[in-house]
Structure 1
Amino acid sequence: MIRVAGPAALVGVAFVALIVGLEYGGGATALLLSDPGPLVRFGLPIATMLVNLSSALTIGALVLALFALRSDRPEFNRALDVAAAGAALLTVTAAATGFLSFLNVTSSSASLDSKFGEILGQFLVSVPLGQAWLVTTLLAAAVTVLCFAVRNLTALVFVAVLAVVTLLPMAQQGHAAGADGHDAAVTALFIHILFAAVWLGGLVVLALLSKQLDNARLVDVVTRYSSVALVCFIAVAASGYVSAELRVGSLDRLLTPYGVLVLIKVAALIVLGLIGAMYRRMLIRRLADGAGRRTFWKVVAAELVFMGVASGVAVALARTATPVPETVPPEATPAQILTGSPLPVELTYGNFLSAWNFDLLWILICGFGIFFYIAGVVRLKRRGDSWPLHRTILWVLGMLMLLFVTNGFMNVYEKYLFSIHMLGHMILAMMIPILLVSAGPVTLALRAIHKRTDGTRGGREWILLAVHSKIGTFLANPIVAAALFATSLLTFYYTPLFRWATTDHLGHEWMIVHFLIVGYLFAQALIGVDPVPYKLPYPFRLLLLLATMAFHAFFGLTLMTGSGLLLADWYGSMGRPWGLSAIADQQAGGGIAWSIGEIPTLILAIVVAIQWGRSDTKETKRLDRNADRTNDAELTEYNRMLERLGTRR
């Protein structure tokens, strides 16, 4: 019964909540001028809601298949069939949403004449809104085919990644596209819809699999889903708060229609959080004891109802006017036109610690990174195993440094000053990886995460697979890691990638990830404590370090002495009344790359030398112990060989 009633209740409640929210918030009110008509006013938000639900169905099914279900059981194939059905529905609803968005923007009526088709085609290929829905439709169609065709568990990772990518165009729509603090709004919206999709979709798929799961399997799957749902709850709550803060602004605006809808969504989220706590404290334990299955499914149905409320209200919010205006000022400065944000005050030593531009994505990454690392250490301690304290300290320091670089003054000024951008690059690629690599996170994870014996893959199994995969082995090769580290400088700064990473928020986030990964691989090749397929002898590590850093220094000197401005239409057009000129600031950035970049080089060289010395000491002790055990048999045999050679003469 739950297999049909639960999802049906979700869709029905979401529909009712959407209609009520539209009426209350004015999202479907007829416009005085250029009204697209009731079909578009109501049809567009309904189609958008179906897009959200179908994307949740797809992503939730894939996540459960990857982390909770057995690939040799019917449950696995049924989950992938559900994912394919969700992706197919997403394809249709995304196409419908794009078409209705066109009618909404142009206030035109659907027609079969060639002129209408020509204008629609231009909208889909030339206008950002149309491009977004066209890309979403095409990606969803590709995911549909792959969900039917792919049944290999490892290959499904790439299908899941592609399904997540379909959310990116959607994240740049709605209020995120025009809000003050555009980057923060887009990040918060993407995190919100992604984790809500995993949370909601996973629960719907769980209900659809009710007949395929016996009691023992249900306990395992629900336990794993509950852990994922807890992370999703935190991410959804945090991203929802950021979005509300950007669009509501102050407590008194909560009494506006938009604010009231936010409060309704918050209330639904609180109830869902309480239900999640009930899962972990009561229901799973009762299921493990062989009781409470009927009660469990009733709770699932209730949870789906409140998720329906949250889903419907969320779409209504996107159609409701926000209390904070989202228009660009009529007399925008050059900096506002380029970046979407006002030019910050002059950077001084006094605001190094007071200037902040929060990026929720990296706040969550750093927060979860510290929590799970410490949780792993605590788990080892509880079972009597030891873990070096200095590794925990290094990991926390690395995460805090990453938090500061991605949220502190560097994130405020890197769009306006090339030198600050380069400072962040040096820390991301060279300093932070040294701290993280020295903490041995892979070793800790392999020791702390429980090994699965039921044929599914958990965190430990996926980490082992990644480390021993052909791609992982190739990237971990010291020569490859050094080549990536060195050539990334030229590839990034002297290709269109630099413009993309500077002017586009998605490119900026990619840049951070790229620098971290490349720097981590290079540091791991030199001083890593985690297991890798191959490690260079210590003398060659020093040679590799010196060669790579010589290339790095050459790059810095090139910028210091260069007279051509990178991204002249960006850094040279900010209209800054303070600070160095754009070219002088770029040359200062080259000095940072050359001088400050050498500090991590020195640290790496010292650590390699220390590890080399310790390795020699360990080898000497090993030989001494072997000599004690064998009564110097090797030395005695060596002396006898010399005697025989002397006798022959």
Structure 2
Amino acid sequence: MNIDAQNLPAPTWPSLVSFSPNGVSVLVVIAGIGAVLYLLGVIRLRRAGRRWPIGRSIAFLLGCALLAATGCLGVHAYAEVLISALLFQQITLMTIVAPLLVLGTPGRLLLRATPHRGVGRTALRLALGGLRSRVSRVLVRPGIAILIAILLYPGLYLTDLVSLLVGVPLGHEVLLLAIFALGVVAAVPLWSSDPVPRPPSFAGRLVEVVVEIQVHAVLGLVMLLSAAPLFSAYDVTRDGWAIDPMRDQIVAGTMMWTYAELPLLIVLIVTLSRWSKRDAKLASRRQTQDEIDLEAYNEYLASLEGGNTKDARRDSGRTAT
């Protein structure tokens, strides 16, 4: 654990949300590079006279801003001594930052803005090769998001693996990078409108969201109802602090029931709405096709009736003759 983190003053709201001099995460560098590359792509499209939706740009850049804030504000330093601060980082990365970045559709921007010659052509080949690879096909399979949620919540906290990771040098940093990467992977099937090898069905998305909600609820309930601290690395009472390990754990459990669940509830509502609209469109198309088929059938019957009438008249004329 970082020595500076052990000497932190008692946490206050200003200290948690202000810039921390106790170390900056590599997440800040990733956010800066991502934002610059994204803006360069948008500028290139604009210069070529092609439009790019402003909403996507806002979503991606906001995601980059929150990614940087997660790695440089006071909450980053306190995450080594407060389980609630670490869980806040994890929830933010997985349920806020990752969806915002995915909603920015950086893959589609890459395909549109990258030049098709020189280095750009090589970059496009690599991107398309990665998209079509077996790894990509596996990562977007139904159930991967559920597996990631189980590994990064019950698997990480209920086994106290989190204490082992934050207790080694750079363990906190490696943990955040893993959480961020897996959060993006889990967000793609739920939020992405980029081309993916196997677009998930609405039913699959619905199952994933419902299971993730249950995973968050179970972990939060365990934290709230536990009679003793669950995490050995955070079971330290500090003089002069108004928050002890048990209160810290209760705050973390409360966040699992509130902060972690709200984005998933939004996904649930959006998924149900899109599913309903899709079914309504399909029903309308089927109804239109049925009407076309019925009209064609009626015309066919009318032609038969017209043919029979002509034959009857012809036979009648022959009889009269």
Specify if TM > 0.5.
yes
Aligned equivalents of 1:339, 1:572: Cα separation in 2? 16
Seen in structure 2, the aligned counterparts of structure 1 residues 344 and 620 have a Cα distance that, compared at 3 Å, is same
- Secondary structure of the residue aligned to 1:356 is coil
Q: Which residue of 2 aligns with 1:543?
A: 207
Q: Distance in 2 between matches of 1:506 and 1:614?
A: 47
- Cα distance change on mapping 1:457 and 1:340 into 2, 3 Å: farther
Cα distance, 1:576–1:640 mapped onto 2, change above 3 Å: farther
Instruction: Select which of 127, 148, 151 maps to 1:484.
Output: 148
Flag the 1:517–1:443 CA change in 2: closer, same or farther, 3 A.
same
Query: Is 1:636 aligned with 2:299?
Result: no
- Aligned: 1:384 with 2:49: yes
Separation of aligned partners in 2, 1:480 and 1:567: 27
Give the conservation status (yes or no) of the 8 Å contact 1:428–1:516: yes
Work out the CA distance in 2 between the residues paired with 1:413 and 1:406: 11
- Structure 2 unmatched ranges of 5 or more: 301-321
Q: 1:464 & 1:482 partners in 2: Cα distance?
A: 26
Deviation at 1:383, TM superposition (A): 1.5
Task: Indicate how the Cα distance of structure 1 residues 639 and 386 shifts in structure 2: closer, same or farther if over 3 A, else same.
Answer: farther
Alignment of 1:193-592 (within 5 A): 339-341=2-4, 342-357=6-21, 358-359=23-24, 361-452=26-117, 458-495=122-159, 497-568=161-232, 570-573=233-236, 575-592=238-255
Deviations 1:82-126 (A, max 9, x none): xxxxxxxxxxxxxxxxxxxxxxxxxxxxxxxxxxxxxxxxxxxxx
State the shift of 1:582 in Å. 0.9
CA drift of 1:574 comes to 5.9
Aligned residues: 300
The answer to whether 1:596 aligns with 2:255 is no
The CA distance in 1 between the partners of 2:297 and 2:267, in whole Å, is 39
Distance verdict in 2 for CA 1:366–1:587, change over 3 Å: same
CA distance in 2, matches of 1:377, 1:618: 33
SS of the residue 1:406 aligns to: helix
CA distance in 2 between partners of 1:620 and 1:431 (Å): 34
Residues 145, 208 of structure 2: 8 Å contact kept:
no
> Structure 1 544/560 Cα, relative in aligned 2: closer, same or farther at 3 Å?
same
Distance change in 2, residues 1:379/1:571 (3 Å): same
- Structure 2 CA distance for aligned equivalents of residues 347 and 639 of structure 1: 79
Measure how far apart 1:631 and its partner are. Answer: 11
Query: In the aligned structure 2, how far is the partner of 1:438 from the partner of 1:617?
Result: 25
Distance 1:634 1:419 in 2: 62
2-structure distance, mates of 1:580, 1:637? 77
* Higher RCO (CA 8 Å, separation ≥ 6 residues): 2
Shift of residue 598, structure 1, vs aligned partner: 1.0
Runs of 4+ in 1 over 6 A off after TM superposition: 638-641
Tell me the alpha carbon deviations over residues 610-636 of structure 1, each in whole angstroms, 9 at most, x when there is no partner. Answer: 433554566577x39x95xx8953343
Q: Residues 45 and 113 of structure 2 are in contact (CA less than 8 Å); yes or no, is this contact kept in structure 1?
A: yes
Q: CA RMSD in A?
A: 3.1
Partners of 2:28 and 2:69 within 8 A in 1: no
Name the SS for the 1:458 alignment partner.
Answer: helix
Instruction: Give % identity.
Output: 26
Q: Would the aligned equivalents of 1:527 and 1:607 in 2 still touch at CA under 8 Å?
A: no
1:576/1:599 Cα in 2 relative to 1: closer, same or farther (>3 Å)? farther
Note the alpha carbon deviations across 1:218-267, whole angstroms, 9 max, x for none: xxxxxxxxxxxxxxxxxxxxxxxxxxxxxxxxxxxxxxxxxxxxxxxxxx
User: Residue type of the partner of 1:478?
Assistant: P
Unaligned runs of 5+ in 1: 1-337, 642-649
Deviation of 1:521 after TM superposition, in Å, equals 2.2
